[in-house]
Structures are given as structure tokens and as C-alpha cells.
Amino acid sequence: MIIKLKPDITSEDRNRLVHIIQESGADYSDQDAINQSEIYINEAYTGINIGLFYHMPGVESIIEGEPIYNLVSRNYKKSDTIIQLDDLYIGGDNYPVMIAGPCAVENEDQIRETAQLVSSLGVRIMRGGAYKPRTSPYSFTGLEERGLELLGKVKKETGLFIITEVLDTADVEVVAAYSDILQIGSRNMQNYKLLKAVGRIRKPVLLKRGMSARLDEFLGSAEYIMKGGNEQVILCERGIRTFVEYSRNTLDLNVVPVVKNLSHLPIIVDPSHGTGRRDLIMPMSLAALAAGADGLMVEVHPHPDNSWSDPEQALSPEQFSLLMEKFTHFLEWLNKNVSVTTAP
Ligand code: PEP
Ligand code: MN
């Protein structure tokens, strides 16, 4: 339940209200809401008489029922959340970030070659799965800890930041030890135990939208992470299942401006999984930037046709290099503050 307060509520009226809530034993929060104009009462409350509040002085309105999310909402925090990795900032007015790398870490040569390629093109964050969620158990499911070690090795060599997926609560610690951002994949967006586990760490988490998830469910999952105390959440639109047959998924770019309105969290777009087609990655990348995305995550492989997973959507080095060129030019054209980063 949310109690919306009138902007001119007196401190006496406000204190009386808070006193009643405290007396009832309800778990509530009224900090950080914009202008302190709302009091959020947690679902765990018992025995509170909602009727009491309707006619109390200073109360503007009451939203009954349990909102799915609160901490992730713009109502709760007005300013954009900015994720910091040393001198790199994600979100707010910062230059949109490009995250690139293979679907999976396959071997040392492959990951080093990719790291050198993306780094030479100005990319600061490399992706690469060590634990791979695959539809078939007979497919390559990742090098696991060995994959993390290889990511750690090329991170040292190149200075790239690393993002990699964590599939299981048991692996959160080891994945966090080797990476700068932990990825929660689409299939795990509603794995609440895993969300709680990454809520307990203090490293950025990139949360991918479930392939059949509504927006409120997506934000509800982000709420789980934030409720655990981890405020460093990046949302990622990666396409949803629709009736179309010509692409792997339908990239829901509507969600970008809608999320910007509803939430203070940064949102990036993954056109690789969103389309599943190399030829669609360039146009949909630019469309995502035009929609206001805080960055992109793209799959690139030194030899895409030999990729052990998702070969049909892996960009070649030449294609990726062209994408980087267009990325920069398009942002200049959109008039983003191209070389300036803003501290939080
Ligand atoms: C990935 O990014 O490696 C991945 C498996 O994507 P998704 O969870 O979006 O399917
Ligand atoms: Mn992939």
C-alpha cells in the first residue's frame, strides 16, 4: 500500500501518521521518496486498518494493494541510477556503453582474439559466457570455472571489464570474483533465489528480461535484487517471444522509453538475442540508441561460422568494426555528449 501525502502536510500530521503505522508493527519506508511525499507500507504488515488513513489530514490518496516494485521506481528515486566501473559510467546522461564478445568462452585463443579485437575498437566491457543455459543438454554448456579463469586472464592482459552469466546460487561467489558485472539470463529472470543471492553482493548485476515476461514482472525481479541491498542493477531488453517466425525474438524497443519513465535504472538492449540474425543487428542497434538505450550488448566472434553457440547471430570482426563506426557516428548525429562522462 502507498499513502500519498499532500505536499503541504504539516510535520505534526505526518508524525501522527507515522506513529500509527509504527504502532501497528508494519514494515514501512518513507525515505528517499520524492519530496518525502509517499509512505510505502510493506506487504508483511498485519492488522493495520487502511480505512483510518483515508480521512487523516495531509493524506492526498491511498493506493491499496501491494505494488510489485517500489525501490526500482522513479517515484522512489527521481535521479537516474549510474553504475560506475572505475572511470566508466553507465546510465544517466553518460555516453551509451557498448558491451561485446562471444556468446560463450570456448578456448584461450578465441577469447583472447575477441578481447584484442573489441578492445582495439574502443570497447570497454567484454561479454562471454562460462556457464551457458542451453535449450538442449547435448549442446555446449560452457567451460565453467575454466572459462572464468580465461576471462580473468584476458581481463588482466587488456584491462577490459568483464560481464558473464551466473546460472546458479552456488556459483555467485566465484563468478563475482572473476567478473565486473554479473549477468542474470532471460531464463533465470524469475529465479527468485538467484535474484536474492545477487541482491546480497555488492557488484553490478545485469538483469535480462525473461522471454515471456511482462514489464511489471521484469521490474519486480529487479526489485528483488535491490531489496537485498544491491542498488547496482542494469536492465537489459533481449527480445520477447511473439508469433513472428522470421526472427528468433521480437526486440521490444517500446520498453526502453517506458522503463525510463517508470524506473531510475539504466536499460541496455541486446539486439543479438533480440533478433537472432546478423543482418538485423546493425539497424536494431541504432534503433535502440534512438529509443534512448544506455548501451548495447552484442555478440561477436573471430570466426562466427565456427561459433560453438549462437553462430547465426555472431558478428564477424569486420561487421563488428562497421557497427562500432556507425555506433559512434549515430550517437554524434543524435547529439549525445560524445566524449564526456558525468560522475554520479
Ligand atoms: C546470453 O546473453 O548469453 C544469453 C544466454 O542470453 P539470454 O539469457 O538473453 O537468452
Ligand atoms: Mn548467445
- Report the C-alpha gap between 28 and 119 in whole angstroms: 46
For 200, the grid coordinates are 546480497
**Substitution candidate for ligand 1 out of 99, 136, 208 with most atoms within 8 A of CB:** 208
HSE, CB side, 13 Å, CA atoms: give it for residue 225: 30
339 pLDDT higher than 80: no
> Ligand 1: residues whose CB is within 6 Å?
103, 129, 133, 165, 185-187, 208, 238, 273
For 126, the grid coordinates are 567484454
- Report the C-alpha gap between 251 and 337 in whole angstroms: 26
Residue 173, Cα to own-chain centre: how many angstroms?
19
Phi-psi region at 248: left, alpha or beta (left = phi > 0; alpha = psi -120 to 50): alpha
Give 208 Cα–ligand 1 centroid separation in angstroms. 8
Measured CA to CA in angstroms, residue 90 lies from 9, 93, 167, 232 at distances of 37, 9, 24, 10
- Report the C-alpha gap between 53 and 269 in whole angstroms: 42
User: What's the pLDDT score for residue 23?
Assistant: 85
Give 270 Cα–ligand 2 centroid separation in angstroms. 10
Whose atoms come closest to the Cα of 191: which ligand? 1
- Report the C-alpha gap between 157 and 174 in whole angstroms: 20
| Average pLDDT estimate for 156-181 | 98
343 pLDDT higher than 50: no
Give 70 Cα–ligand 1 centroid separation in angstroms. 26
Which atom of ligand 1 is closest in space to residue 129's alpha carbon?
Answer: 3
Q: Predicted confidence band at 48 (pLDDT cuts at 50, 70, 90)?
A: confident
Q: Predicted confidence band at 180 (pLDDT cuts at 50, 70, 90)?
A: very high
The contacts of residue 190 (CB under 8 Å, 6+ apart) are: 210, 213, 217, 221
For 191, the grid coordinates are 529465479
Give 142 Cα–ligand 1 centroid separation in angstroms. 13
Whose atoms come closest to the Cα of 135: which ligand? 1
pTM of the model: 0.87
Which atom of ligand 1 is closest in space to residue 188's alpha carbon?
Answer: 8
Q: Predicted confidence band at 46 (pLDDT cuts at 50, 70, 90)?
A: low
Give 62 Cα–ligand 2 centroid separation in angstroms. 44
